[in-house]
Chain A
Amino acid sequence: DADVTQTPRNRITKTGKRIMLECSQTKGHDRMYWYRQDPGLGLRLIYYSFDVKDINKGEISDGYSVSRQAQAKFSLSLESAIPNQTALYFCATSDPTGDYGYTFGSGTRLTIV
């Protein structure tokens, strides 16, 4: 099994729908992140969490919300999806006592039509 698992891998949904992307990890890391990746813009941080009780907004949190259900689970929700949220979404984990080796999931390709 992958260290960081994201579901679904692909999703096409309509404008205005609520959608949840899920992430689970077996790394045992406390820190988890949600990023989106757009061509030419690189990775941009949406939300991050240092532990179950700690949730922080990132660079582009508007239109998104998150839930940290357990150390191993971190989900991202789009309350009312809009077309410019079409992107590749990545969940990642890190260990602040280790190197800078963020472990990424394989991503969710989300298309809003």
Chain B
Amino acid sequence: QKEVEQDPGPLSVPEGAIVSLNCTYSNSAFQYFMWYRQYSRKGPELLMYTYSSGNKEDGRFTAQVDKSSKYISLFIRDSQPSDSATYLCAMDRGSNYQLIWGAGTKLIIKP
């Protein structure tokens, strides 16, 4: 079993919808949780990161961590076609060098 599980999609939604992307994990030692966005033919770029449990909001994006359920989510409000990309979750015990990555979910926002 992988340490981090992420549905590969693709997830296709109409423009303006609320999108929910999720990852589950098995290692309770993870403390830092990140979401990266990757456009086609580009490297991943950091969207948001959170430490431990709770919510974090940045514009249309909200990251949520539930350590008791070992479950993290990324919500995108008022989704736009420019949000179409692959979203990868990543997590770490605090070392900042051995990130464990989800496989990524491909998101398609239809105009």
Contact-residue bracket for chain B: 20 to 34
Query: Please, which residue of chain B has its CB at the minimum distance from the CB of A38?
Result: B103
B83 within 8 A of A: no
Chain B residues with a Cβ under 8 A of chain A: 4, 6, 8, 32, 34, 36, 41-46, 49, 88, 90, 92, 96-99, 101-104
A-B contact pairs, 10 of them (CB 8 A): A4-B43, A42-B6, A42-B88, A43-B101, A96-B97, A99-B46, A104-B43, A104-B44, A104-B45, A106-B42
Residues on B with C-beta less than 8 A from A90 are: 43-44
B32 contacts across to A, CB distance below 8 A = 100
Residue of A nearest to B43 (CB): A104
Count of interface residues, chain A, beta-carbon cutoff 8 Å: 23
9 A-B pairs with least C-beta separation = A104-B43, A42-B101, A42-B103, A101-B46, A43-B101, A100-B49, A100-B34, A96-B96, A90-B43
Q: Is A82 an interface residue (CB 8 A)?
A: no
Interface string of A33-50 (1 = CB under 8 A from B): 100000011111100101
